Amino acid sequence: MSQYAVVNPATGEVVEEFPTATDEQITDALARSHNAYATWSTTPVEERTAILSKVAQIYSDRAEELAEIIKLEMGKAVPEGKGEVALSSMIYQYFADNAAEFISEEKLKGPKDGEAYLLRKPVGSLLGIMPWNFPYYQVARFAAPNLALGNTIILKHAPQCPRSAQVMEEIFAEAGLPADAYINVYATNEQVADIILPDPRNQGVSLTGSERAGSAVAAEAGKNLKKVVLELGGSDPYVVLDSEDVAATAKTLFQARMGNTGQACNSPKRMIVMDDIYDEFVEKITESAKKFTPADPLAEDSQLSPLSSKAAQERFMEQVEATVADGATLLAGGKAYEGEGSFVEPVVLTDVQKGKRGYYEELFGPAFMIFRVSSDEEAVELANDTPFGLGSAVFSKDMSRAEKVAEQLQAGMVFVNGPEQSREYLPFGGVKRSGVGRELGPLAMDEFCNKQLYYKNS
């Protein structure tokens, strides 16, 4: 089977295969992207953003079709797929609407014998390495701001998302993007390391993926003096200090964790709950977990979609089993469903032991790890005791109490009295081993940008 293939995770069926690029095709893509930059970077921003606006409309018009594609590629339920397509459309429209303002010249205070300005200019051809869990959204986060700025893009998608990768390139062409300003390549990891990153025509790389992948790409980029943006793993804490309605709070957090079958970097992977409401909270989460059963992700009432692949299923189950073997209490789930599909039962774990694998690793699937604490100080200490620092949330009916805890969290994103959100206008990114750089919002266009000083003497 080809490295790039659509394998339906609900059935294990190989639906379609795509040929991996040759070294010559990769070298050709670098030349084409570099040459396209000369024209695209000098295209007026109004023309660039008009094309992004058309991209946004095409996503909206083709939502059903696009959702069907990723259902087959990585098992996302069609209603969730439509939601991802809608968010992607909003991202393209956001940068279409705001790019001109974001790159407008900024006059600097200070000079007495002249004028100083900060100009924001593109840098060249960029490489994007994107994951399978949000095939359209992850690409939009990278592509929209950089195309608006005037950079050109070579995109290497996850091997299990070749059809959506191809369709995105087709949508850009349909919207009027000049040839070679965005190029999809079915590249190998070796071609990235040996051909693309060492090439001087490449000016940087953005990767969303695992710690291991991020570390490997960052090492190669650093060796070649290339700028990187990395959005890596997360073990996001949700701290529940108190609640007027514990069942409602548990439902909110349950739904947040089950989004995309738990396969999201900024999913609430650790629930830290105050002692006086802990038992009721655990009971409600466990009840909800036991109700979920597998379903065709096509169904509008789909409850439980498969994990993205058999490999993902096997890794998730191995992590759960190791965590239980290390002393955790298993209250629900713990089994993979039989058959060719990659379904797993939602898992509820308590008493996860500090210093053990499950305590520090990211469980990428429908797993609820719930911790009991007896003070705000203990909650903060536990929340920050992780190598990750992507997102977080704090819940309390006392806003001042919630804010005091939130201010102490070591994370790139903090939400109070609501689950984390991914929105086109909210900067997305983390600290510690969750990565470097920011995507979305007004910060996104500053990452691969020449922030050029322009000084004029009087």
H helix and E strand count, the chain: 14, 18
Report d(CA 26, CA 352) in Å as an integer: 46
Contact 98, 441 (CB under 8 A): no
Structure tokens belonging to residue 62: 């083709």
Residue 427 is classified by DSSP as -
Helix (H, G, I), strand (E, B) or coil at 196: helix
Report d(CA 304, CA 137) in Å as an integer: 21
Q: What is the DSSP string of 3-51?
A: SEEEE-TTT--EEEEEPPPPHHHHHHHHHHHHHHHHHHTTS-HHHHHHH
Q: Which of 84, 220, 265, 424 is catalytic?
A: 265
Question: β-strands 450-457, 237-240: how paired?
Answer: unpaired
Q: What are phi and psi of 240, to 5 degrees?
A: -105, 105
Structure tokens belonging to residue 285: 């989460």
Q: Which alpha helices (DSSP H) does 41-150 contain, by range?
A: 45-61, 63-74, 78-102, 137-149
Long-range CB pairs of 354-357 (<8 Å, 24+ gap) are 354/385, 356/323, 356/326, 356/327, 356/328, 357/319, 357/322, 357/323, 357/326
Give, in degrees to the nearest 5, the angle at Cα 191 between 188 and 194: 150
Structure tokens belonging to residue 453: 């000083």
How many other CB atoms sit within 10 Å of the CB of residue 398?
10
How many other CB atoms sit within 10 Å of the CB of residue 135?
28
Taken as a whole, the chain contains a residue count of 458
Query: Does residue 265 have an active-site annotation?
Result: yes
Structure tokens belonging to residue 20: 């991996």
Structure tokens belonging to residue 273: 């709950």
Q: Which of 84, 220, 231, 439 is catalytic?
A: 231
Contact 155, 143 (CB under 8 A): yes
The beta strand positions in 209-332, using DSSP E, are 227-231, 237-240, 270-274, 329-332
Q: Which of 233, 205, 210 has the alpha carbon at shortest distance from 220?
A: 205
C-alpha dihedral (376, 431, 154, 137), degrees to nearest 10: 10
Give the catalytic positions in this structure: 231, 265
